[in-house]
Homo-oligomer: A and B are copies of this chain.
Amino acid sequence: MRIGELATNAGLTAKTIRFYETAGVLPEPERQPSGYRDYNGSALARLRFVKAAQAAGLTLAEIRQVIAVRDLSGPPCRHVADLLDTHAADLDRRIAELAALRDDVQRLRDRAKSLDPSRCDDTAVCHVIPADDPAAHPPARIP
C-alpha cells in the first residue's frame, strides 16, 4: 500500500502521515525500490489507534509515549488509564476555569447594558471593561 492509499483509507492526507512518522507515532515503513513508502495493514491499525487516542484528547507526544511504553514493557493499559485519569482531571479544571470566565464575561456584559456610552471616561479605553477590575484573575489562558 502506498502512502496515498493509506491516507485515503485512514481519512488523512499523505502529508499528515509523513508528519506522524517524524512525530514518532508511526514506525518507518519499508520502501519500494523506487523509494516510495510501502505500508502493510498494521499501519492502518496504528493510524486508527492514533485517531482514537487523539479523540480522547491525548497529544501526539503522549501517544508516542504510550507506544514506547508498550514496546518496552508490554501492554500499556495501566499507563493509559493513568493518562486518562490525568486528562479527566485536567478537563475538570479547565471546564471550571472556563465556566468562571464565562460568568465574568456575562457579568461585564450585563453591566454594559446599564452604562451610558456618553459617560465613557476619556482616560480609559472603554469603561465597559474596568481597568481596575478587582475580580481580574490572571489571564485565563485557554490552552
Give residues in A with beta carbon < 8 Å to B: 42, 45-46, 48-49, 51-57, 66-67, 70, 74-78, 80-81, 84-85, 87-88, 91-92, 94-95, 98-99, 101-102, 104-106, 108-109, 112-113, 115, 117-118, 120, 123-133, 136-140, 142-143
Contacts and interface: CB of A to CB of B under 8 A. Distances in A.
A138 B55 contact: yes
Contact of A95 (B54, B99, B104): B99
A70 to B, nearest CB: 6
Contacts of A84: 105, 108-109, 112, 128
Given A48-B131, A81-B112, A140-B55, A126 B75 contact: yes
Which 3 A-B pairs give the minimum distances between C-beta atoms? A75-B120, A48-B131, A91-B102
Given A55-B133, A80-B128, A125-B67, A105 B120 contact: no
B139 A70 contact: no
Contacts of A140: 55, 57
A142 B77 contact: no
A36 to B, nearest CB: 24
